[in-house]
Amino acid sequence: MKPLKPLHLASAALILFAVTWISGCATRAAPRPIEITPRFLPDVERSARPHKPGQDAPTIALVLGGGGLRGFAHLGVIRALEESGIQPDIVVGTSAGAVVGAAYASGLSPNEIETIARNVKLSSLIDLTVSASGLMRGDNIARWIDTVTSGKRIEAFPRRFGAVATDLRSGQAVLLDNGSPGVAVQASAAVPGVNVPVAYPGGHFVDGGITSLVPVRFARAMGADVVIAVDVYCADSGGDGMGAASVLLRVMRTQSCLIAAPEMAEADVLIAPKIHVSSLSAQDEQEKAIWTGYRAALAALSGIKSRMKAPSPAAREESASSLVSRSNSERTPRRSPPPPATFQGTSRADICPSDADSPPNRCRPSASAT
């Protein structure tokens, strides 16, 4: 047997030191008990709350999409909506959108959320672990969210809230709208390969962005008449780097956005600020993201307000019943109820992109009419 060379000994010592250091920093704590029941889309649709007779005001949902640190733009969108008097009844979020959405739905004001976001140390949310399933447990994120939301259960939030995760066994999106908001957000933001999947009695949760990047359909299933969706991930091209990592990230973005596009098109208004991610951990970049989201939301206001003025389903049903009754009594041909307000184009979505280098413009249709 050949003796080990000094270089080999040094390498072995370095590896041993690294393993020891990681083990010391990592946590082996037992998983927290999961007190949350996931619901698949058909389950949510079956339990949707019906409109009450005479209820004219539409039910408004704010849908916040995933996108990592680009989620700072969601703070600007919420501020713009609040300043314009637009109060969502339902908040649904995926990954980063679930983080912001949980704080907002719990009753915190835009100022309070922005203060919390600016002051949190991202390093404090990292909890390394020794696991073949991921590098971080995500328990620190869960505890932080539970603290931010004052220990309330999701059912106690003043606004209806749901975080969207992916059920690893079925490969389907699930809504987490009960129990601990921390666990719901932890599951929604469990990036495969980075975070350990969140275990529950029926399987495991991973990041909701895999199956529902901007969860418009869950918002609609929860009873929303008007869905305001925010996409912070797909509007930016993601750069033109040709390194192996850059190419892989660009391909992953393309795949994710192609999968998400049909669902995003089902929103009534889609706000899509262009967020660059060169150094979003820096405070000035975070402020720029907030401002970009704010301006994009301002540009969308006319589209949002026009949708809010459209008759609610309850009002349309009453109008239809009245027309049928009058038609029968007068023996005249039956007329159809007035159609809901729509936007021109191949979908109902208004895409309102905005960046810091150009003034906000009116919402433009997602595609020209054909």
List the catalytic residues. 95, 207
Tokens of 276: 């660059």
Q: Where are the beta strands (DSSP E) in 71-192?
A: 90-94, 160-167, 172-176
What SS3 state is found at 208?
helix
Nearest-10 crossing angle of helices 139-148, 96-105: 20
Q: Is 48 helix (H, G, I), strand (E, B) or coil?
A: coil
- Residue 173's SS3 state is strand
Angle at 227 between CA 239 and CA 150, to 5 degrees: 85
Per DSSP, the residues of 287-328 read: HHHHHHHHHHHHHHHHHHHHHHTSPPHHHHHHHHHHHHHHHH
Sequence-separated (6 or more) residues with CB below 8 Å from residue 145: 99, 102, 103, 181, 182, 185, 186
Q: How many CB atoms lie within 10 A of CB 26?
A: 16
Tell me how far apart the alpha carbons of residues 46 and 238 are, in angstroms, rounded to a whole number: 39
Residue whose C-alpha is closest to residue 60's, from 297, 320, 346, 305:
305
Distance between CA 94 and CA 211 in Å, rounded? 10
| β-strands 160-167, 90-94 pairing | parallel
SS3 call for 166: strand
Are 68 and 277 a contacting pair, CB within 8 Å? yes
